[in-house]
Amino acid sequence: MATSREFGGSRSTLVLRLITAVLLVLMCVYKLHLTYRGLNQPVAMEQAQIARSVAQGKGFVTGVLRPIEVMNAAEHAKQKKLPLDYQSMRDSTHAPLNIVAMAVALKMTGYDDFEASRMTDGGYVYAPDRIISATSIFFFCIAIVLTYTLVGRLFDEVVACSTCCFLLLSELVLNYAVSGLPQPLMMCFMLGGLHLFLSSVRMFQEKAVYWSLLYLSLSFACMGLMCLSGWMGIWIAGGLLLFCCFYYRPAGSYVLTSAVVLLLILLGPAVFNYINTGSILGNAMLGLYNSFGGGEEYAMRAASLNYVPLQAGSAVLNLLAHTVYQLRDLYVNMGSILVVPFFFLALLNRFKRDDVQSMKWALFSMWAIACVGMALFGQNEPECASQLAIMFVPMFVAYGIALVFNFLGRLKYESSTFNQARGLAIFILIILSAGPFLATLPKALYMGIWLGDRGRPQYPPYYPPALNVNLANITAPEHVIVTDQPWAVAWYANRKALWIPRTVYEFSTALEPTLKSGGAHVTGFLITPSSHSRLDSTGGMSAIEIDMGDFAPLAMEGKVLKMVPRHNVALADFFVENVTGNQNAYPLGQLVSSQGRFSRRVPLLGAEILYYGEPEGALAN
């Protein structure tokens, strides 16, 4: 095969390895130190605050209180005849391994102590953020090493080093590397599983059935650990299992053994979810509301699913739309790397080695089933916890490069000319692919080196000092804050945060009484750019109304105050009476007007971040 030609001896191989290693170190320093701005992913912050609880010995206790989870927990506690303790609400949404890894890092560095890590130095970057990102980038480095070794086994040193360089010069891939999201850890287990799968395929081709079955079982053990790092990984594991049904003979022994190994690894979390929620799936299935019309966000923010009924009539159309999105934006979702689409051309190319052919179709099967999963859960963002496209980038890039080299090899160059040709081809492809990222690199370095840690935080919508210092100073750990940014409040302020529902009725009649029965005291509302920044986007006021429901005036109040700074405007004062005649239409003004329960308006970052709390001395009374 053309890609396996000798490349200039051991000296050239050493040079390639050195270039790859230096680039890896430089990119890690660039993202984690020179241009670091803190976390910006809600799931990363939510998992980080759970990890802090784990590091403190409290277990998987979450400070993010989703309305539907609060009500489900109360119902589950009632069935078991136990009191609801909102301070010890167990998380049943997130996979555990990434959280455990974060907890270990926080414990080792001492940042599991919230008070010891307060932002008292006047900086904008929260120190534990960097620890979370460092943990993520550690797994990313392992994934790069695994990519290098796996691609080297399939092809050669040049393809392996070129693949790693493409990954290290992709802005989206680097963003995942410091995001705190589970994908870097998931990628480690997936690539480790593919290593073992490749060994299984080779043993199967050599008729070594016992070793082939053993390697395949270990491969699915890795896939199970990948699922425990991020639940969406189940779709990838399912895709590999589907390929095994067609590849191995007899299929029964191979597939059954693999499925049993996978299920045994997932048994522990299933039991944990059943104990805490009464369902082996926990709250994971609520994500299906994305594709079935209600929207996962609305489902999580509702006190009951009766408020967000499934819209079966639009389910097929929504599923089709999300599927088309996965195909339409495949290039962007895979880091805008030029050679990624070449993988699909590689499907039409017959590689000489059977193991390379088998891996190619296994990857396609895994990707196809992953696309089904992302479509079902309505995945439309290139960078988020449930985006699986990024997981396939290393191997898609490798096959794309191999295809380019294969075409060059068919031109019948001499060995030295061939090496020069593919070196030039890789150089041109990297420049074309990484051009936009490299063009912005000088400015990013200038801003990062010149401003350092006092550079801009991830704003909007996140401004850690406002929560870690200002909000934490005026509230107590036992308080519950209703907010549009519960993950940030729980992480930066270490306070219990209820995701703001869409109706005052649900809050007043269901959520607050339930929390009160569990010993909780709601002390105020926090409004951040997570809601009102929509005014600056194409959505405008209608987007805020759709997203915030009854609380839309509260979300808009900060923007109004900025437009008329000389006037002490309180929009909620216009909503103090129910004029509709609907008994379920509770007026917003009863809660947050100048005469309401939460009448004390505290600017935490001017009018951008506003806290509506109880009057001074309210708790004492």
Give the pLDDT confidence score for residue 538 in this predicted structure: 57
Residue 159 pLDDT exceeds 70: yes
Paired residues of 505 in beta bridges: none
Paired with 521 in beta bridges are: 479
Q: Which of 93, 182, 167, 168 is nearest to 135 (CA)?
A: 182
The angle formed by the CA atoms of residues 310, 333 and 99, to the nearest 5 degrees, is 75
- Name the β-bridge partners of 601: 612
Distance CA 235, CA 366 (A): 7
The rounded distance, in Å, linking the Cα atoms of 233 and 173 is 18
Which are the contacts of 318, defined by CB distance < 8 A and separation ≥ 6? 290, 291, 292, 293, 378
pLDDT per position as a tens digit, 527-568: 999 988 766 665 677 888 888 989 999 999 888 888 877 677
**Who wins on pLDDT, 621 or 595?**
595
Q: Which one-letter DSSP state was computed for residue 347?
A: T
- Residue 258 CB: number of other CB atoms within 10 A? 26
> Which whole number is the average pLDDT over 47-56?
98
Question: What CA–CA distances, in Å, run from 447 to 1, 188, 443, 457?
Answer: 47, 32, 6, 12
Neighbours of 465 (CB within 10 A): 20
Tell which residue, 250, 158, 236, has the closest CA to residue 197.
Answer: 236
Strand partners of residue 610: 527, 603
Q: Is the pLDDT of residue 295 over 90?
A: no
| Cα torsion through 443, 448, 454, 458, rounded to 10 | 70
Answer yes or no: pTM beyond 0.85.
Answer: yes
Highest mean pLDDT among 261-275, 463-477, 568-582 belongs to 463-477
**DSSP 8-state secondary structure symbol assigned to residue 470:** I
Q: What integer pLDDT is reported at residue 240 of this predicted model?
A: 98
Is residue 621 very low, low, confident or very high in pLDDT (cuts 50, 70, 90)? very low
Q: How far apart are CA 393 and CA 395, in angstroms?
A: 6
Q: Which helix (H) or strand (E) holds 313?
A: helix 312-328
pLDDT of residue 4: 47
Per-residue pLDDT of 383-432, as tens digits, reads 999 899 999 999 999 999 999 999 888 877 777 777 788 888 989 999 99
Of residues 203 and 300, more confidently modeled: 203
Bridge partners of 524, per DSSP, are: 481, 613
